[in-house]
């Protein structure tokens, strides 16, 4: 907070000076001092601006934005609620860390959205209008008292983080009731139940109440798509099973790439098509002033396209490539870009840990003088990709902090050139208070949208000027027109969103 500048005389009058002043001057001096004191008191006690007053919540698996929200003070589960223009937000503090959407998770959320015991499912003294079972990833609504199946898309359900955690935040859209989706009234009641009993719902439960309007938060500001001048724009894009090459998706991809205008693109899920084909499409959609797009891939799945020459390529481990890109025109030095596609889902968790160890082994070698890769000191490094981090939270910290699971290739190290951990950029969507990067409304597993794609970089040598995920479905008609997009573009193109970071050299 900035306190207004206040002029003070170089020497305040002593008592005898004040008493010998003319009466008119004494009155004037007293008024000045009173105004000064009131100004300082007001500046200390009042908000300074509307921008600073506004509170926002983003569903990103970070919880600092929940500061000031009161939680239930009972033992076990604690629940905090807030609401924005489009969503009801819930924050759960669990007794122990768990993966909320894992098979076997025994957590059920019940919400009485209208606060009326006479509607919905009669349970725990309320009328539950929504029931969501996190372990089976299935839900129900009860229009007219009749159970009806519900998906995450029906409820606007988003959950973060995707890895195990004691703290979970979720969002539910607050719709108008069309299609049988419950409306939200002035009072919302709910319960968390765990564990489940033979009757399908436990007798043990944690109830909570919320009166609408109590904890209002604003939407975060829109993020502009334009690239800040003088930056290098790097994007990651999982193209969903070679979807970039499907002619039925070309129009959507063309509009997306024209709106983003990347310098470097890291791809995943290129399985049967040559990476050169991706360069050919970019040549058509966003042609360079001179020359053609450069492409490279060391194996299947991961690949890269770049406006700049690619000097070297390494296969780090299946699904993970590294590329030395000649970015001297923007960064003043070459950059190493590691493009990652880690194994999906719960079952191959050990495979994912092995991949992470191979990445860290390569990384240690790259920043160590005399290694097989032997990068010049302080070369900017970015690691981008579909990490599929959905289970053990130590997988995230292992990549960010340089902590291998196996000590065979050496112990922990500081991946930011010996200065500390990498920066997890964590981009949020341009027009939505969400940070999920994957969404598949028709997925058979019933999974809610989540964050699977990551951007890591070396913060001692790179600054982030802008970062975002593009989700065209959440953009206004005006914003879509401004950027030449259609509402369905990102959904048509892939089940992953393109994530973007603009960087400069420090």
Mean pLDDT value across the chain: 88
All residues at 6 or more sequence positions from 274 whose CB lies less than 8 Å from its CB, including other chains: none
Element (H, E) at 311: strand 310-317
* CA distances, 272 to each of 8, 49, 296, 386 (Å): 76, 55, 15, 18
Concatenating the DSSP letter of every residue in 389-439 gives: --S-THHHHHHHHT--SSSTT-S---TTTTSSPPEE----BTTSSB---B-
- Convert the pLDDT of each residue in 3-36 to its tens digit: 333 333 333 344 444 445 555 554 454 444 443 4
Give the pLDDT of residue 72. 83
Who has greater pLDDT, 22 or 262? 262
Task: Read off the pLDDT band of 176 (50, 70, 90).
Answer: low
Q: Using alpha carbons, list the distances in angstroms from residue 467 to 57, 111, 429, 464.
A: 18, 35, 9, 7
| Selected residue with higher pLDDT from 257 and 185 | 257
Q: Which residue segments constitute the domains of the chain, with CATH numbers given?
A: 64-211 (2.60.40), 232-505 (3.60.10.10)
pTM (2 d.p.)? 0.88
pLDDT per position as a tens digit, 270-308: 999 999 999 999 999 999 999 999 999 999 999 999 999
CA distance 37 to 58: 39
Question: Around Cβ 493, how many Cβ atoms within 10 Å?
Answer: 27
The confidence band for 242, taking pLDDT boundaries of 50, 70 and 90, is very high
- Inform me whether the pLDDT recorded for 52 exceeds 50: no
Would you call 102 helix, strand, or coil by DSSP?
A: coil
In angstroms, rounded to a whole number, what is the distance separating the alpha carbons of residues 288 and 158?
Answer: 38
Q: What is the tens place of the pLDDT at every residue in 299-356? A: 999 999 999 999 999 999 999 999 999 999 999 999 999 999 999 976 667 899 999 9
Instruction: Give the strand pairing for 165-173 and 423-424.
Output: unpaired
Peptide bond into 195 cis (omega under 30): yes
Give the pair of three-digit tokens for residue 221: 């500001």
User: Can you give the pLDDT at residue 409?
Assistant: 75
CA-wise closest residue to 363 among 327, 328, 398, 311: 398
Handedness of CA 310, 312, 313, 316 (dihedral sign): negative
């Amino acid at each position: 907070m900035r306190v207004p500048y206040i002029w003070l005389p170089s020497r305040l009058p002593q008592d005898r000076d004040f008493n010998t002043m003319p009466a008119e001057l004494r009155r004037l001096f007293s008024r000045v001092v009173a105004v000064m004191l009131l100004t300082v008191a007001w500046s200390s006690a009042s908000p300074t601006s509307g921008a600073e007053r506004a509170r926002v919540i983003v569903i990103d698996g970070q919880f600092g934005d929940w500061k000031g929200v009161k939680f239930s003070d009972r033992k076990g589960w604690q629940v905090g609620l807030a609401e924005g223009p489009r969503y009801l937000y819930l924050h759960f503090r669990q007794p122990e860390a768990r993966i909320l959407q894992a098979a076997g998770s025994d957590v059920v959320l019940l919400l009485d959205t209208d606060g009326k015991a006479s509607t919905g499912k009669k349970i725990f003294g309320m009328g539950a209008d929504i029931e969501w079972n996190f372990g089976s990833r299935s839900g129900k609504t009860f229009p007219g008292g009749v159970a009806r199946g519900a998906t995450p898309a029906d409820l606007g359900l988003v959950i973060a983080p995707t890895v195990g955690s004691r703290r979970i935040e979720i969002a539910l859209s607050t719709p108008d009731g069309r299609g049988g989706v419950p409306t939200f009234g002035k009072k919302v009641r709910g319960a968390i139940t765990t564990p489940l009993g033979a009757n399908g719902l436990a007798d043990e439960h944690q109830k909570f109440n919320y009166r609408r309007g109590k904890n209002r938060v604003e939407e975060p500001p829109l993020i502009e798509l334009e690239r800040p001048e003088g930056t290098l724009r790097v994007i990651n894009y999982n193209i969903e099973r070679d979807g970039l090459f499907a002619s039925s998706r070309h129009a959507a991809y063309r509009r997306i790439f024209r709106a983003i205008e990347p310098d470097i693109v890291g791809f995943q899920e290129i399985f049967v098509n040559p990476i050169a084909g991706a360069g050919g499409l970019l040549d058509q959609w966003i042609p360079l002033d001179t020359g053609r797009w450069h492409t490279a891939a060391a194996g299947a799945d991961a690949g890269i396209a770049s406006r700049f020459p690619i000097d070297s390529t390494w296969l780090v481990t299946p699904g993970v490539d590294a590329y030395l890109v000649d970015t001297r025109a923007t960064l003043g030095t070459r950059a190493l870009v590691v493009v990652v596609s880690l194994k999906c889902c719960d079952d191959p968790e050990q495979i994912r840990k092995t991949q992470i160890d191979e990445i860290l082994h390569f990384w240690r070698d790259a920043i160590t003088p005399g290694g097989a890769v032997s990068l010049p000191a302080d070369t900017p490094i970015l690691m981008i990709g579909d990490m599929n981090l959905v289970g053990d939270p130590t997988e995230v910290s292992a990549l960010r902090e340089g902590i291998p699971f196996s000590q065979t290739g050496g112990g922990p190290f500081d991946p930011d050139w010996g200065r500390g951990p990498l920066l997890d950029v964590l981009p949020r969507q341009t027009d939505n208070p969400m940070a999920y990067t994957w969404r598949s409304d028709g997925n058979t597993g019933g999974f809610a949208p989540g964050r699977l794609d990551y951007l890591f970089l070396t913060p001692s040598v790179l600054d982030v000027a802008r970062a975002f995920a593009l989700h065209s479905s959440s953009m206004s008609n005006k914003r879509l027109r401004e950027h030449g997009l259609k509402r369905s573009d990102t959904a048509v193109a892939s089940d992953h969103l393109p994530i973007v970071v603009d960087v400069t050299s420090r």
